[in-house]
Amino acid sequence: MIIGLAIVAIVTISLFFKGKWRKYGLLFSLVLTVGFGIFYVIRPYWIDAQIYKKVELLESYLEQHYSNEEWEISTVPHREDGYEHLNPFYISVTFKNEPDVSYEYWVENETSVFQRGYSTNKN
C-alpha cells in the first residue's frame, strides 16, 4: 500500500511539471511499478528456494547430532491462506520417539543452527 501511495504521489507531482521533467517523472513511476511488480512475483519463489536450502542444512545438522533417531521435517505453507502471520523460515522437526512434541529450528548457515522453541500436543 505504501508503494502504491508513493507511485501515485510521484505521478501526481510529475503532472505539475512540463516537458522532459514530466516525462522523466512518469517514466520513473513506471520503472518503480514494474520493479515492484517483478519483486512481488519473484518473492515467493525466492522464499521457497531459501527454505529448501535451509531444510538441507538442517537435515545434515540432525544427522550429525541425532544420527540414531528418525524425524519428520515440516515447513510453514506460506503461500496458503491463514499462514501469512507465520515466519516461513522456522522449520519444525518432530522426532519419531516424541510424536507429540514439535521442535522449531532456525537455520542461518551450515554452522549456525538453533533450536528456538518447541510445542506439544499433550494436555
Q: How many helices (H) and strands (E) does the chain have?
A: 2, 4
Model pTM score: 0.76
Q: What are phi and psi of 84, to 5 degrees?
A: -65, -30
Give per-residue pLDDT as tens, 16-75: 999 999 999 999 999 999 999 999 999 999 999 999 999 999 999 999 999 899 999 999
pLDDT of residue 78: 87
